[in-house]
Structure 1
Amino acid sequence: MSSTQSGIDQVSRVDRLGPAEITDVLALARTAGDADGADPMDEHVLLRLRDEHAAASHLVARSTDGTLTGYAHLDTTDPDSGVGVELMVHPAYRRRGTGRALARGVLATAAGPLRAWAHGDHPSAAALAVDLGFHRARVLWQLRRPLAAPLPEPRLPDGVTLRAFRPGSDEEAWLTLNARAFADHPEQGRWTADDLRVRLTEPWFDPAGFLLAVESATGRLLGFHWTKVHERPGSARIGEVYVLGVEPTAHGGGLGRALTMAGLAYLRDRRGLDRVMLYVDESNTGAVALYERLGFARWSAHVNYQLG
């Protein structure tokens, strides 16, 4: 462990977080998310906090009384392609240099290119990124849609049926399809069996909401719509188009639209939800146009900054 002093906060590097520290980080994430209207860390990072084998480093900032005032997570799984960075500061301890101290700690700790997400495109994050020489490289939109509005009936292509995901038998085929559907995606296309496993054991996982499009004659997977329901005490429930993908050779037949509608109908009719969200890359103009035609509108932006 190493540390530096920043005003009244001490920033320390930790190779592995203990249970109490993980609890503190999760509580900080909830507090920051409630204040900013956007979770400060993505799901992948939060899952990795509990994985003792994850390749990561941690920077923690604490006040003199021991309060966790800030945290930065460094994903070092593949440093050649860039170290992934997520950083957050407690709302009550902002404007005192904690975020800048954490960022400078990241620069001093990480080797190679850096990729940092600013969830919610917070102005302070943008200003800090510019000051430190990062450039805006990628934008991820969160889109939302009410489910009370009419939903078009899903129209599957001929010879295609829908069924639920079967834990224990569909994992390998799904991972293969996911890799093909997201071959050019910097995160989704790289999912491993462990990435899938940890999500299948999360409390929110519901196999009935993991819809698979299957070629009737062969049983081959052609597409999927994995839905998710967000339930947080004190907040309204909301559904999510968690992951939606189509086999590249099945593009152009309306399968993506049908899967979208089937998942939305499930969230409304089976889970009783009245709104849904999804994430889509700004550069994926085709997908953005499709979702906007289906009634989705832009809600917030998440920006990826890069250095090196």
Structure 2
Amino acid sequence: MSEVVVVEELTAEAVRDAQALIDDAARADGQYAVSEQGRLNLRGGRREGVRHLLVWERGELVGYGQLEDTDPVEAPAGEFVVHPDHRRRGHGRALGGALLDASDRRLRVWAHGGHPAARHLARLLGLSLFRELRQMRRPLTDLDLPEPVLPDGVRLRTFVPGRDDAAWLAANAAAFAHHPEQGGMTQRDLDDRKAEPWFDPHGFFLAVRDDGRGGEELVGFHWTKVHSADQLGEVYVVGVVPGAQGGGLGRALTVAGLRYLARDRGLPTAMLYVDADNKAAVTVYERLGFRIHEVDLMYRTEG
């Protein structure tokens, strides 16, 4: 039986080991089993509400899990991965059981890619399918989208780090009030991403309008991301504040970002993530030529 150690802060050596394990698994599986936020949570010391789960075998880290309990409403969210060379030995089930115990059996767990083995393990742990997140893609080599048409009084500019942080965090919280994972982003979360090699303020578009007091109001945004190794451009996050929704601004922002990824960055393919039950967004993306590439599934305990 695997022994799982639960800690609130990792040593520098454990961080390196966990990052190496996650990377090894991603190379074998073709995708990361731990999300971008989970990988960021590994770094920078202790984070409130985050716990790490470690499985060691003869001094080698063979399994890693993470539990994030920062949402005031939803159950804690977990992710875990076992090194490819150490699978089918009970480590995954041990990590899943430890996550259930650590969350007082109130748990949500991501299975990135929705692989059959993950579905089987979810059943063994007594978890039910809760959410489907689609990854959609479209080629950019044939992109033929006209200049985006903005609502009256709205103009586009790019993000200025430091100057626009507070306004963007407020707009993001308003646009994603229904989506705690995205809407709950903090200054630390934003700083983490600004420090990443992929961060490019020139690909971070803001839709603004005059606020009537000599300043401007941020009403929407499209933050793009480039995965250089895979030659993929990502529609990382598109948001429109409630008072500006329904006028075509979301589509215009999406088009602006796609044109940037295709023309300025010369990327052959674009990708994005969208919840399957967000019918309006799925329809917009399908009309822009996106099609399903793969799915991530979230399971949870009942109740």
| 1:41 alignment partner AA | V
Query: Which deviates further from its counterpart, 130-139 or 214-223?
Result: 214-223
Residue aligned with 1:220, SS: strand
- Matched residue, 1:159: 153
Residue aligned with 2:196, SS: coil
| 1:305 alignment partner AA | Y
| 1:210 alignment partner AA | F
Please say if 1:140 is aligned against 2:133. Answer: yes
- Matched residue, 2:223: 226
- Matched residue, 2:180: 186
Structure 2 CA distance, aligned partners of 1:23 and 1:267? Answer: 32
The Cα shift of 1:247 comes to 1.8
Please say if 1:204 is aligned against 2:198. Answer: yes
Structure 1 CA distance, aligned partners of 2:287 and 2:120? Answer: 34
Structure 1 CA distance, aligned partners of 2:255 and 2:248? Answer: 11
- Matched residue, 1:87: 80
8 Å contact kept, 1:29–1:39: yes
- Matched residue, 1:30: 23
- Matched residue, 2:231: 237
| 1:231 alignment partner AA | S
Structure 1: 5+ residue stretches without partners: none
- Matched residue, 1:114: 107
Please say if 1:304 is aligned against 2:301. Answer: no
Q: How does 1:56-95 map to 2 (within 5 A)?
A: 56-64=50-58, 66-78=59-71, 81-95=74-88
- Count the aligned residue pairs: 297
Taking a change above 3 Å as real, the CA distance of residues 78 and 253 of structure 1, as seen in their structure-2 partners, is closer
- Could you tell me the TM-score, scaled by structure 2's length? 0.93
Structure 2 CA distance, aligned partners of 1:295 and 1:77? Answer: 36
| 2:227 alignment partner AA | H
Structure 2: 5+ residue stretches without partners: none
Residue aligned with 1:187, SS: helix
Structure 2 CA distance, aligned partners of 1:16 and 1:108? Answer: 18
CA RMSD, aligned part only? 1.6
- Matched residue, 2:92: 99
8 Å contact kept, 1:239–1:275: yes
Percent identity between the two aligned chains? 50
Structure 1 CA distance, aligned partners of 2:198 and 2:150? Answer: 27
| 2:172 alignment partner AA | N
